[in-house]
Structure 1
Amino acid sequence: MIEEFLGNVDTIGALLGALAVLALLDSTSFGTLLIPVWLLMASGRLRAGRVLVYLAVVAGAYAVVGLILLTSLLLFGEQLIDGLVALQQSPVVLLGQAALGAGLIAYSFRLDPLSDAGRERKRRREEARGTSGRVQRFRERVVGEGTQGGLAPLMGLGLAAVGLEIATLLPYLAGIVLVAAADPGVPVAPAMILFYCAVMILPALVLLIARVFAHRALERPLRRLQGFLSRHVSGTVALILFLVGLWLGLNALGGLENAGWNVPLV
């Protein structure tokens, strides 16, 4: 009995270690690090509680998705995986995926035009719409010293970040599969998902604590980082959208060709 208990403890410990490594990989994503860092660069006195709300929404949303996936895997296992694979390979889904990929590529060029003329048109368009600097104004409004309004915009930002990222967080999906394969039972399995989500936002929490208690020491690095992001964020987001769109499009075209559709890949 004691040997079996110690064996279970060793297994759970090893699984927690693997989950921690995967979660730290996920902690560098757009929603779990880039957006929190951007929020921390708000001028003046930071409303730290509001940043905590954002992180709680992100972690909570990931936890809900993870628990749903874990429960589905435990109940249906291979049937669920086979069903998802079959659905993903259906022509209707593949055509929709190809259209989404093309849309992301087109939007990436609109977000960060390649030509000088395109960038000038974008600048004039933003000035005409009054959208220039809108992102920075939103940040000051939700977490800065002059905070206005309720928490709905901040919570919406967190949910939007999760919605955009969830399909690309392969470490999280791998962690869920590991927990499902080990099947440690209730309440250990759900607790492992919660542990993963807590570790995933841990680096952002550390930065938040540093921002609150060592603002003067971090002020210059944060300003430099803000300047860098201000210059390159559009290009970075555009590149990510382009690569995701390209991957979705090529994957869809390959699936359609395997299904018998005469679709050229080049």
Structure 2
Amino acid sequence: MTSLLMSILPLALLDAVSVGALAMPVWFLISDRVRHGYLCLYLAVLALAYAALGLALVNGPAGLREGGENLLNSTAGDWIRGLVGVALMAFAAWYGLVHKVSVRAPGGGSEAGRLEEGRSKAGRFGAWRDGAVGENASVRAVVGLALVATLVEIPTAVPYAIALGRVDETNPGLFVQVCAVGVYAAVMVLPAFALTVGSRLARAHVAGLLHRVDRWFRVNAQENTAWLIAIVGLALFFETQLYDSVMNLVSDPNSAQGRPLQ
């Protein structure tokens, strides 16, 4: 189990800087009235929801999982993964470069403009934050927000998907599965929990750090998303025969002539 944990914990740290696991908690902590107990509840529900969903996916219907594995391991599946990877990298380049320039052109692309855009977007979720940590805070609102954050992020939680794949590949017993997925979820929320404890014990000392983290998220949101998409695309493309064929063509063009893609 140690080797399995060592292989998935770095992925958990990548997931720890996601919107639901870090940006939302920081957003909570910089509000005028912070309810640290509700924030701890949010993190606990988020971790439990991730773990429960992960166990459900790993232990899904055997026939469905085997059919998916056979498709992905086939020639057609290999081509699909390769083309999807290329498409994701192309989209990331457009979204992070071309689209960024077109969006920022009217305002000159200043940091102040990006911050203002981030504030306007954050205002759309102001009611959620008020319901979680404001005057009208409630347990129901916190639990609901954590579940919504889980459902929204799971489709793009690529590190988690990779980690679940590694858990499934080792074919461990249920106890090891629970331990691995549980540790992953705990590590994922650990940075936010540390910030919460720091804010509770020494708010004046961590307030500046919280505002800097929030500022970084709002200023670099588009670039971060583009990088994540590009990394996912590269990971998909890197493990395909299409990638091997392209590398062979680049390294030895003469020997690759007339050789069909496998």
When normalised by structure 1's length, the TM-score is: 0.62
Q: Is 1:33–1:204's contact at 8 Å kept on the other side of the alignment? A: yes
Cα 1:194–1:153, aligned 2, differ >3 Å: closer, same or farther? Answer: closer
Superposed CA offset, 1:125-164 (max 9, x none): xx9xx95522332464433564679455553233222221
How far is 1:46 from its partner?
A: 1.9
CA distance in 1, matches of 2:80, 2:43: 36
Report matched runs for 1:45-56 at 5 Å. 45-52=33-40, 54-56=42-44
CA distance in 1, matches of 2:62, 2:179: 15
Query: 2:159 matched to 1:173?
Result: no
Amino acid at match of 1:121: P
Superposed CA offset, 1:9-53 (max 9, x none): xxxxxx258527733651342336542453344331224355345
Cα 1:88–1:226, aligned 2, differ >3 Å: closer, same or farther? Answer: farther
Give the one of 103, 106, 115 matched to 2:91.
103
Aligned residues: 234
How far is 1:218 from its partner?
A: 0.8
Give the one of 92, 114, 136 matched to 2:122.
136
Greater alpha carbon shift after TM alignment, 241-250 vs 162-171: 241-250
Cα 1:148–1:140, aligned 2, differ >3 Å: closer, same or farther? Answer: farther
Give 3-state SS (helix, strand or coil) of 1:254's partner.
Answer: helix
Report matched runs for 1:1-266 at 5 Å. 15=1, 18-19=4-5, 22-23=8-9, 25-29=11-15, 30-31=17-18, 33-36=21-24, 38-52=26-40, 54-71=42-59, 81-86=69-74, 89=77, 91=79, 95=83, 98-109=86-97, 112-113=100-101, 119-121=104-106, 133-138=119-124, 140-143=126-129, 146=134, 150=141, 152=144, 155-166=147-158, 170-178=162-170, 180=171, 183=172, 185-187=173-175, 189-245=177-233, 254=242
Q: Give the corresponding residue for 1:5.
A: none
CA distance in 1, matches of 2:12, 2:67: 27
CA distance in 1, matches of 2:64, 2:48: 24
Q: Is 1:26–1:172's contact at 8 Å kept on the other side of the alignment? A: no
Give 3-state SS (helix, strand or coil) of 1:27's partner.
Answer: helix
Q: Is 1:66–1:193's contact at 8 Å kept on the other side of the alignment? A: yes
Cα 1:62–1:141, aligned 2, differ >3 Å: closer, same or farther? Answer: same
Structure 1 vs Structure 2 CA RMSD: 4.5
Superposed CA offset, 1:199-221 (max 9, x none): 33233222222223321221122
Cα 1:23–1:132, aligned 2, differ >3 Å: closer, same or farther? Answer: closer
CA distance in 1, matches of 2:76, 2:195: 39
How far is 1:72 from its partner?
A: 5.0
Give 3-state SS (helix, strand or coil) of 2:197's partner.
Answer: helix
Cα 1:210–1:167, aligned 2, differ >3 Å: closer, same or farther? Answer: closer
Give 3-state SS (helix, strand or coil) of 1:220's partner.
Answer: helix
Greater alpha carbon shift after TM alignment, 156-165 vs 144-153: 144-153
CA distance in 2, matches of 1:147, 1:104: 40
Q: Is 1:176–1:193's contact at 8 Å kept on the other side of the alignment? A: no
Gaps of 5+ in 2: 247-257
Cα 1:74–1:208, aligned 2, differ >3 Å: closer, same or farther? Answer: farther
Amino acid at match of 2:5: L
Cα 1:247–1:189, aligned 2, differ >3 Å: closer, same or farther? Answer: closer
CA distance in 1, matches of 2:221, 2:210: 15
